[in-house]
Amino acid sequence: MEAAEERGLITRVLEGDRLAARALYDAHAPRVYRLIYRFVGDDVLAEEFVQDTFVRVFGSLNGFRGDARLGTWIHSVAVTTTMNGLRTRNRRSGRELALEAAAELPAPAREAEPDLRDRLHAAIDALPEKFRVPVVMHDIEGYTHSEIAAITGVPEGTCKTRLMHGRAKLREALAMFSRARDVEALP
């Protein structure tokens, strides 16, 4: 969508045009969903965060200055909404389960070694947020370093450094899996 077309849509949305709001949503929601899904790994939660994102976007659209492309701004709102939502959920879930109740839970059954995909997803989920965001956005979703910098508000050089550190942590986390598979393959 071209910048002039986006500006026209923004103007129409601000005037209360519901069709323009729908067009704006339809133009950006699929990529926003993919990005959020990569962070949360759950369809229902991703949909919830997409809705939260667009509620915030439409609620603050009159504050959009146009310094960046609309899509970049929307993705910035999506990342912030998702990370804040995940933090809130983690705090709630920590309070929901008292220590006494946790002691009564049965021990989890030992499962077979997960395949590489499961290990990779677990390793990505375990990354600290500052490393997970650039890894997911760059290596999985294909955003450029400049787009990531604009979306996250972090300098481009810092994004590149965080991506490098995130990849190193992934290599480290997956090294044991690789060695274990090599040992299993020995005669």
CA distance 30 to 11: 22
Residue 40 tokens, joined: 């949360």
Residue 184: its pLDDT value, please?
A: 55
DSSP string, 32-60: HHHHHHHHH--HHHHHHHHHHHHHHHHHS
Residue 112: its pLDDT value, please?
A: 40
Q: How far is CA 106 from CA 102, 112, 155, in A?
A: 9, 18, 46
Residue 181: its pLDDT value, please?
A: 55
- What letter represents residue 19's amino acid? L
Please choose, from the candidates 82, 67, 66, 72, the residue with its C-alpha nearest in 3D space to the C-alpha of residue 33: 82
- Give Dmax (Cα) for the chain: 72
Non-local (6+) Cβ contacts of 39 within 8 A are 79, 82, 83, 86, 132, 133, 136
- What letter represents residue 64's amino acid? F
Helix axes 70-96, 3-14, angle to 10 degrees: 60
Contact predicate 36/46, CB 8 Å: yes
Residue 4: its pLDDT value, please?
A: 78
pLDDT tens for each residue of the chain, 187 residues long: 677 788 888 999 999 999 999 999 999 999 999 999 999 989 999 999 999 999 999 999 988 887 788 998 999 999 999 999 988 877 655 544 444 454 455 544 444 455 777 888 888 888 998 999 999 999 888 889 998 998 888 999 999 999 999 999 998 888 876 665 554 554 5
Residue 106: its pLDDT value, please?
A: 53
